[in-house]
Structure 1
Amino acid sequence: MTLAATERAAGSPGGGPRAGRATLAATLLVLTALLVLSATAALAIGSVRVPPGQVWGIVTHALGAGWVEPDWSGARETIVLDVRAPRVLLGAVVGAGLAVVGTAMQALLRNPLAEPYLLGVSSGASLGAVVVIVFSLTLFGAVSLSVAAFAGALGALLLVYATARTGGRITSVRLVLSGVAIAAVLTAATNLLLLTTERGNQAREVLAWTLGGLGGVNWGTLWLPAGALAVGVGVLLVQARNLNLLLAGEEAATTMGLDVGRFRARMFVLLSLVTGVLVAAAGPIGFVGLMLPHIVRLFVGGDHRRVLPTAALGGAVFLIWADVAARTVAAPLEIPVGVLTALCGGPFFLWLMRRDARRGTDRGAV
């Protein structure tokens, strides 16, 4: 199944350009409202319940725009502003970033199964994090884990490109194969470190990190993933037309004036760096970048000028609610959010494959 076939199955908004813009505007408006409501609920829900009205009062008062006198305790204000707010914002940033990166990866490779971790970035980040945990390294203080994870992701990217480059060119097939091979080697090194560690609590800590989670974030570390998201979304929106050209195939894109090889190389570097920052902040949270692009295309079609902003908002909403479930379903135990995203993503793709198989059978019968 190709990406173009997936988009034909999903369909595109009808009624002409004006109707398409109206549909996109309505979709973005609904998703923005849903994002605000989701963030409010996430700030309110937890072991200590905070009424939504108080949530808005605390937030607006902290921003200097409060219209009511504070009637809440200092403990509730601390919970909302210092514990939950950074976590909710990180969830929105990581969800949006993974959805956007996944959308672009599927277009660049013309493969509906492409996702942000395809080039071994998550395996490199995991190895960096495991080294810090197992050897108790604190060279960069509280951010040592994130720095090591990003360094591992960057190292994996450099290895993939070094092995995929032959004759001054990098093809998509060699890039993907190199990513798979490097990821396998790095995963083996990670498992070896885990098997040889002498303390069981380190293995549990590593397992929790590799399953992804939004805990432990604070305001001082939130700016980096937020900045990476802003840069990534901005560049991809500018390049949306070129992503659309790739849907027609490499030859058609070249005929339209696109240097496919150079464009792909630049985009792969950008997407891998953004993914490395997101993984360093929250661990490798799976299925968001694989699942959300397909869901979004069901509603807005395949034009990346529509898909990218819609995927960003949809991914933010999805991961916020996944984290709420992770915090509350088995409270006081917190489930790694990556477990819940996989539980959602697996059945969705089984349904997607069955749906496309039925459509292919119908088209063949006709």
Structure 2
Amino acid sequence: MGRVGVRKVMTVLLVSVPAVILLYLALGPTVISPLLLFNSSATAADPMLARDALILSAIRLPRVLMAGLVGASLACCGAAMQGLFRNPLADPSLIGVSSGASAGASFSIVIGAGWIDSSAILGLSVVSLGAVVGAIIAVFLVYRLATNRYGTSVVTMLLSGVAIGAVASALNSLFSYFADSDMLRRISIWQMGNLDGATWERVFLIFVVALILCWRLPQHCRALNAFLLGESEARYLGIRVERVKKELVLITALAVGIGVVVCGNIAFVGLVVPHILRSLIGPDHRTLIPASALAGAILLIVADIVARTVIAPAELPAGILTSLVGAPVFFFLLVKSKVLNNPERL
């Protein structure tokens, strides 16, 4: 698809983002006009309108912003990892950060939650802080296992991520085994991926991460395009391969780790979104990464709209919906690309 196609896709995405945000603010157990956020005189005169304005500003607005920022971060990190691994089926969780965060959170729920007060830094509970520590440990181990005096092997990093992920999953199962019914429910809900804990402190935290991604990822688009030719060719083009790999892993670990911390595990956003967009606008990361960020934000916002409204006033975890949508789409992409019949393409 040529430049006209890229322009069309970007236009649709840019128009869709504010549209789904307004839809999110309006829909819920109570239908509210988003214009109340800007009409202070009306809310001051009517207690019911004041209540609706409070719902918008204290609940729905931070939640939609957190959904958009997390979705954008996961999707653009997925695009970066697929470029780094030279595999369109790669996912940010391959470096072990998601499984490490899950194990850290489960450990905190079972062992540490009773020792430390639940209020903590930047609005994060002890469970979230445990997830941060777990993610850091997992990524550190993956990177150390993949690095030797000759550099960092992408293949070894991939295999190390799978191994560390398996260990973290085993630890997670172990902690779940020793958990009581209340702890087990908390573990399950947290791992499903849920945005109902959105606060302005968490929005600020993921916003800082998004700013880092907006600053650093565009500077590596040329390197990611060169990686499509292979690491040797990238070196010939003047790319500092080891430095780029290290920074991409670190910022992806930071973004995915914080995303998991603020809303739990959100599956398939970082895998499906860049994969679909690559087939629409091509593999050029100068357009693929910003398009992935926009589409990832839209996907998670729409998923949370459905999660909040389909069984209102109760809610479904948004992570369940992204998995229900992402898994069939992923399987369809596998069949369409005939990967199942050609294992060498994996």
Normalised TM-score (structure 2): 0.90
Alignment match, 2:263 = 282
User: Residue type of the partner of 2:61?
Assistant: A
User: Which deviates more, 171-180 or 250-259?
Assistant: 250-259
Alignment match, 1:184 = 166
Equivalent residue in structure 2 for 1:93, among 53, 65, 69: 69
TM-aligned CA deviation for residue 140 of structure 1: 5.0
Q: In 1, distance between residues paired with 2:89 and 2:124?
A: 33
Equivalent residue in structure 1 for 2:14, among 21, 32, 43: 32
Alignment match, 2:239 = 258
Q: In 1, distance between residues paired with 2:209 and 2:45?
A: 35
Structure 2 matches for 1:1-366, cutoff 5 A? Answer: 12-13=1-2, 20=3, 23-50=5-32, 54-55=33-34, 57-61=35-39, 73-134=49-110, 135-136=112-113, 137-138=116-117, 141=120, 142-144=123-125, 145-167=127-149, 169-197=151-179, 199-357=180-338
Alignment match, 1:8 = none
TM-aligned CA deviation for residue 153 of structure 1: 0.7
Q: For residue 338 of structure 2, give the secondary structure of its aligned residue in structure 1.
A: helix
Q: In 2, distance between residues paired with 1:251 and 1:90?
A: 39
Q: Is the 8 A contact 2:89 2:275 kept in 1?
A: no
User: Residue type of the partner of 2:63?
Assistant: R
User: Which deviates more, 135-144 or 281-290?
Assistant: 135-144
User: Residue type of the partner of 2:102?
Assistant: S
Alpha-carbon spacing, 1:234–1:61, altered in 2? closer, same or farther (3 Å): farther
Q: In 2, distance between residues paired with 1:157 and 1:109?
A: 16
User: What's the CA shift string for 1:86-132, capped at 9, x where partnerless?
Assistant: 11111100110000000000000001221111111011111221122
User: What's the CA shift string for 1:156-188, capped at 9, x where partnerless?
Assistant: 111212222233522011111111111111111
Alpha-carbon spacing, 1:81–1:68, altered in 2? closer, same or farther (3 Å): closer
Structure 1: segments with no counterpart, 5+ residues: 1-11, 14-19, 362-366
TM-aligned CA deviation for residue 332 of structure 1: 3.1
Q: In 2, distance between residues paired with 1:58 and 1:237?
A: 37
TM-aligned CA deviation for residue 248 of structure 1: 1.5
TM-aligned CA deviation for residue 69 of structure 1: 8.7
Alpha-carbon spacing, 1:332–1:201, altered in 2? closer, same or farther (3 Å): farther
Alpha-carbon spacing, 1:95–1:70, altered in 2? closer, same or farther (3 Å): farther
Q: Is the 8 A contact 2:68 2:296 kept in 1?
A: yes
Alpha-carbon spacing, 1:139–1:34, altered in 2? closer, same or farther (3 Å): closer
Q: In 1, distance between residues paired with 2:154 and 2:317?
A: 33
- Counting matched residue pairs gives 335
State the identity %. Answer: 36
TM-aligned CA deviation for residue 139 of structure 1: 6.5
Q: For residue 264 of structure 1, give the secondary structure of its aligned residue in structure 2.
A: helix
Q: In 2, distance between residues paired with 1:167 and 1:254?
A: 17
Q: For residue 118 of structure 1, give the secondary structure of its aligned residue in structure 2.
A: helix
TM-aligned CA deviation for residue 67 of structure 1: 10
Q: For residue 254 of structure 1, give the secondary structure of its aligned residue in structure 2.
A: helix
Q: Is the 8 A contact 1:171 1:261 kept in 2?
A: no
Q: In 2, distance between residues paired with 1:124 and 1:356?
A: 31
User: Residue type of the partner of 1:58?
Assistant: L
Q: Is the 8 A contact 1:132 1:138 kept in 2?
A: no
User: What's the CA shift string for 1:169-216, capped at 9, x where partnerless?
Assistant: 22011111111111111111111111012x202101111111111111
Q: In 2, distance between residues paired with 1:168 and 1:289?
A: 30
Q: In 2, distance between residues paired with 1:98 and 1:195?
A: 30
Alignment match, 1:364 = none
User: Residue type of the partner of 2:23?
Assistant: A
Q: In 2, distance between residues paired with 1:324 and 1:91?
A: 10
TM-aligned CA deviation for residue 27 of structure 1: 3.1
Q: In 2, distance between residues paired with 1:39 and 1:138?
A: 34
Q: In 1, distance between residues paired with 2:218 and 2:198?
A: 28
TM-aligned CA deviation for residue 260 of structure 1: 2.0
Q: In 1, distance between residues paired with 2:319 and 2:43?
A: 39
